[in-house]
Amino acid sequence: MSENTGKKERFHRREVQRAMVKNARKAKIIDKIVSIFAIACVILAVIPLTSILIEVIKNGIAAFNWDFFTGRPSAIGRAGGGIGPAIQGTLIVVGLATMIGAPIGILTGIYLSEFAGNGPFPNGVRFFNEVMTGLPSVVMGIVGYILIVLTLGSFSVWAGAFSLSLIMIPIVSRVTEETIKIIPNSIREAGHALGIPKWKITLFITFKSAISGVLTGVVLSIARIAGETAPLIMTILGTSLFFTGFNSPVDALPLRIWRLSSQPYESAQTQAWGAALFLIMLVLVLSVALRLLAQRRGFAVKAEI
Amino acid sequence: MLILVAFAVGEGALPIFSHEGFQFITGTDWNAVYGRESFGALPYIIGTLLSSAIAMAIGVPISLGIAIFVTEMAPHRISTPLSFVVELLAAVPSIIYGLWALFVFRFWIRDLIERPLYEHLSWIPFFDKTPFGLDIFTAGIVLSIMIIPIISSITREILRVVPNSQREAAYSLGATRWGTLRTAVFPYAKSGILGASFLGLGRAIGETILVTMIIGNAIGPAAIPTTLFSQGQSLASLIANEFNEAASDLHLSALIGLGAILLLLSMVINIGARLMVSRMVKAVPGGRE
Tell me how far apart the alpha carbons of residues A143 and B256 are, in angstroms, rounded to a whole number. 9
| Per-residue model confidence (pLDDT) at position A215 | 82
Q: How many CB atoms lie within 10 A of CB A189?
A: 11
HEC assignment per residue over B7-39: HHHHHHHHHHHHHHCCHHHHCCCEECCCCCCEE
A83: pLDDT strictly greater than 80: no
Which range is least confidently modeled, B122-131, B179-188, B198-207? B122-131
Tell me how far apart the alpha carbons of residues A182 and B224 are, in angstroms, rounded to a whole number. 51
Q: Write out pLDDT tens, residues A195-214.
A: 888 888 888 888 887 887 78
Tell me how far apart the alpha carbons of residues B58 and B64 are, in angstroms, rounded to a whole number. 11
**Closest by alpha carbon to B96, among A19, A233, A281, A265?**
A281
In this complex, the residue of B12, B240, B256 whose CB is nearest that of residue A233 is B240
A299: pLDDT strictly greater than 70: no
Q: Write out pLDDT tens, residues B34-50.
A: 555 667 777 778 888 88
For residue A274, name the pLDDT band (cuts at 50, 70, 90): confident
- Spell out which residues of chain A touch residue B103, defining contact as CB-CB under 8 Å: 55, 59, 261, 269, 273
Average pLDDT, chain A: 79
Delimit the domains of chain A by residue range. Answer: 1-61, 66-297
Q: Which residues contact A243 (CB under 8 A, 6 or more apart)?
A: A85, A88, A89, A92, A157, A250
CATH architecture, range B2-283: Orthogonal Bundle (1.10)
B29: pLDDT strictly greater than 70: no
| Per-residue model confidence (pLDDT) at position A302 | 47
Which range is least confidently modeled, A108-122, A144-158, B52-66, B223-237? B223-237
A95: pLDDT strictly greater than 80: yes
A136: pLDDT strictly greater than 60: yes
B11: pLDDT strictly greater than 70: no
**Closest by alpha carbon to A139, among B268, B234, B239, B233?**
B239
- Spell out which residues of chain B touch residue A52, defining contact as CB-CB under 8 Å: 92, 96-97, 100
**Partner-chain contact B68 A30, CB within 8 Å:** no
- Spell out which residues of chain A touch residue B112, defining contact as CB-CB under 8 Å: none
For residue A162, name the pLDDT band (cuts at 50, 70, 90): confident
- Spell out which residues of chain A touch residue B154, defining contact as CB-CB under 8 Å: 303, 305
Average pLDDT, chain B: 75
- Spell out which residues of chain B touch residue A56, defining contact as CB-CB under 8 Å: 96, 99-100
B234: pLDDT strictly greater than 80: no
Fold of A66-297: MetI-like fold (1.10.3720)
A261: pLDDT strictly greater than 70: yes
Q: Using CB atoms within 10 A of its CB, is residue A1 exposed (0-12), middle (13-18) or buried (19+)?
A: exposed
Q: Is-contact B180 A31, C-beta < 8 A? A: no
CA distance to A23, A24, B28, B176, per residue, from A19 (Å): 6, 8, 60, 17
Tell me how far apart the alpha carbons of residues B32 and B30 are, in angstroms, rounded to a whole number. 7
Residue, of B218 and A95, whose pLDDT is higher? A95
In this complex, the residue of B96, B154, B239 whose CB is nearest that of residue A138 is B239
- Spell out which residues of chain A touch residue B205, defining contact as CB-CB under 8 Å: 136
Q: Write out pLDDT tens, residues B59-103.
A: 888 888 888 888 877 777 777 777 777 777 777 888 888 888 888
Tell me how far apart the alpha carbons of residues B212 and B93 are, in angstroms, rounded to a whole number. 14
Distance from CA of A113 to the nearest CA of B (A): 18
Tell me how far apart the alpha carbons of residues A41 and A61 are, in angstroms, rounded to a whole number. 31
Q: Is-contact A275 A260, C-beta < 8 A? A: yes
For residue A304, name the pLDDT band (cuts at 50, 70, 90): very low
Q: How many CB atoms lie within 10 A of CB B224?
A: 17
Instruction: Give the chain B residue nearest A262 (alpha carbons).
Output: B213
Number of residues written out for chain B: 289
Distance from CA of A3 to the nearest CA of B (A): 34
Chains A & B: contacts with CB separation below 8 Å: 222
A70: pLDDT strictly greater than 60: yes
**Partner-chain contact B206 A228, CB within 8 Å:** no
Residue type present at position A179: T
Q: Write out pLDDT tens, residues B103-136.
A: 888 778 777 777 777 777 666 666 666 666 677 8
Residue A132 forms contact with B (CB below 8 Å): yes
| For range A72-100, the mean pLDDT | 78
Tell me how far apart the alpha carbons of residues B43 and B47 are, in angstroms, rounded to a whole number. 6
| Per-residue model confidence (pLDDT) at position B127 | 64
Rounded to 5 degrees, what angle do the CA atoms B255, B259, B265 make?
145
Q: How many CA atoms lie within 13 A of A166 on its CB side?
A: 32
Delimit the domains of chain B by residue range. Answer: 2-283
